[in-house]
Amino acid sequence: MSIRERMSGNEATAYAIRQVNPDVCAAFPITPSTEIPQMVSTYIANGQMTTEFIPVESEHSSMSATMGACAAGARAITATSSAGLAFMWEVLYVAASDRLPIVMAVVNRALTGPININCDHSDSMGARDSGWIQIYAETNQEAYDNYIQSFRIAEHPDVRLPLMVCQDGFITSHAVMNIELLEDEPVKKFVGEYEPENYLLNPELPLAVGPYANSPFYMETKKNQRVAMKNAKKVILEVAKEFEKISGRSYGLFEEYKMEDAEYAIVIMGSAAGTTKDAVDKLREDGVKAGMIKVRVFRPFPGEELAEALKNVKAAAILDRAESFSGQGGPLGSELKAALLDAETKAKVINYFYGLGGRDYTVEDASAVYEDLKKLDAGEATVKGLQYKYIGLRR
């Protein structure tokens, strides 16, 4: 039976952590994720959790402590944002190569330069090639649901990879929304106990974790990570089906919104999907066959599946909330355009940057993108030949 509540995304994540009751939580505060470990520590102090909380001196240390706990055989978690995630850079790669199924809540915030505490995806996108699974939420409900599912995905024997559960800083992390929570027992039963095959404190099988690997071994390590990441697609879908049985909520690698007969589509991630849906609804009333795809899983990247979903559209816009300075567009745009090319999709495609550093993205902005797509389809000079554009850029 569901519990109806009103919570912020940070509250919902902390509530999910209480229900899972991991063995170890190591954390260092950084806006806008600070509330998550703060709330968890309160749950622990109140006797509502048995988790060992480790306050550390930096984000690098929080990930290092989490890795040590996980390698020792514990279910271990942490949370961070922005520069905190960047400070973990070195050990993010170690956690992935050591195949440690850590779950980390990432509350997306722009990376410093210049200093900005608002939302964009530059922090997690900067870590997109570190070997971590990445799942993104549109709403507080999705942040809660994704977090509960994440342990089953990361700890699956065919995967064994760390996982980032991402949500948009302040937009979902601090905004209060209606939410349906699951009762404690169904969550505990769904997540289950963590039972690692190999761990440092196993007296029956002494082992080393994170050893030096020179040329004869390094490439094989990376290949095995790639296989695990590919396996994660199937596991994510299997876990989602099981989660639907206890929640009634359905999840996939991405969500299609009014795509059945769509001629023009926006592909987007995170909270801005809700704004785009409003634009789609308005355009549908005006007779425009608009649709939207919200990417939930960025790693592993569902390129083939997205290409299949877009095969019948005339024009598509891919919206990135992070710059990559590649000259070819943003992270989502570059990867999806490559997948569309491989699939020989005929749709005309343009990439957009939006919402950087918390810049507003409105229904009017989304509607203007669809107008651009109509012009692109018609071959008008104003958009023909453009690889990417900025939304809301001040002149």
Cβ atoms of residues 19 and 148 within 8 Å: yes
Return the percentage of the chain with pLDDT > 90, whole number.
Answer: 90
- For residue 142, the Cα-to-chain-centroid distance in whole angstroms is 11
Nearest to 201 by CA among 389, 73, 14: 73
Per-residue pLDDT tens over the stretch 277-303: 999 999 999 999 999 999 999 999 999
Return the percentage of the chain with pLDDT > 70, whole number.
Answer: 100
Angle at 183 between CA 62 and CA 142, to 5 degrees: 60
Q: Give all strands (DSSP E) within the chain, no chain letters.
A: 3-8, 24-27, 52-55, 76-80, 103-108, 133-136, 163-168, 176-181, 254-257, 264-268, 290-295, 297-299, 315-320, 348-353, 388-390
pTM over 0.75: yes
| Total Cβ atoms within 10 A of residue 312 | 16
Domain ranges of the chain: 3-247, 254-390
Query: In which band, very low, low, confident or very high, does the pLDDT at 220 lie, cut at 50, 70 and 90?
Result: very high
Per-residue pLDDT tens over the stretch 17-58: 999 999 999 999 999 999 999 999 999 999 999 999 999 999
Which region among 144-148, 198-202, 370-374 has the lowest average model confidence (pLDDT)?
A: 198-202
The pLDDT value recorded for residue 380 is: 87
The pLDDT value recorded for residue 209 is: 83
In one letter, which amino acid is 360? D
Q: Residue 195: which residues within 8 A CB-CB, separation 6 or more? A: none
Per-residue pLDDT tens over the stretch 90-122: 999 999 999 999 999 999 999 999 999 999 999
Query: In which band, very low, low, confident or very high, does the pLDDT at 393 lie, cut at 50, 70 and 90?
Result: very high
For residues 191-213, give the mean pLDDT. 88
Query: In which band, very low, low, confident or very high, does the pLDDT at 207 lie, cut at 50, 70 and 90?
Result: confident
* Bridge partners for 179 per DSSP: 5
Q: Residue 43: which residues within 8 A CB-CB, separation 6 or more? A: 14, 17, 18, 49, 51
The pLDDT value recorded for residue 370 is: 98
Per-residue pLDDT tens over the stretch 350-368: 999 999 999 999 999 999 9
Pick the CATH number of 3-247 from 3.20.20.20, 3.40.50.970, 3.30.70.20, 3.30.420.10: 3.40.50.970
Average pLDDT, the chain: 96
Per-residue pLDDT tens over the stretch 48-93: 999 999 999 999 999 999 999 999 999 999 999 999 999 999 999 9
Give 392's DSSP letter: S
Q: Is the pLDDT of residue 385 over 80?
A: no
Per-residue pLDDT tens over the stretch 140-173: 999 999 999 999 999 999 999 999 999 999 999 9
CATH 3.40.50.920 is the classification of domain 254-390: yes
Judge if the upstream peptide bond of residue 32 is cis by omega within 30 degrees of 0. yes
Q: Give all strands (DSSP E) within 109-263, no chain letters.
A: 133-136, 163-168, 176-181, 254-257
3-247 and 254-390 agree in CATH topology: yes
The pLDDT value recorded for residue 99 is: 96
What are the C-alpha distances in Å from 210 to residues 9, 95, 96, 131?
34, 8, 10, 15
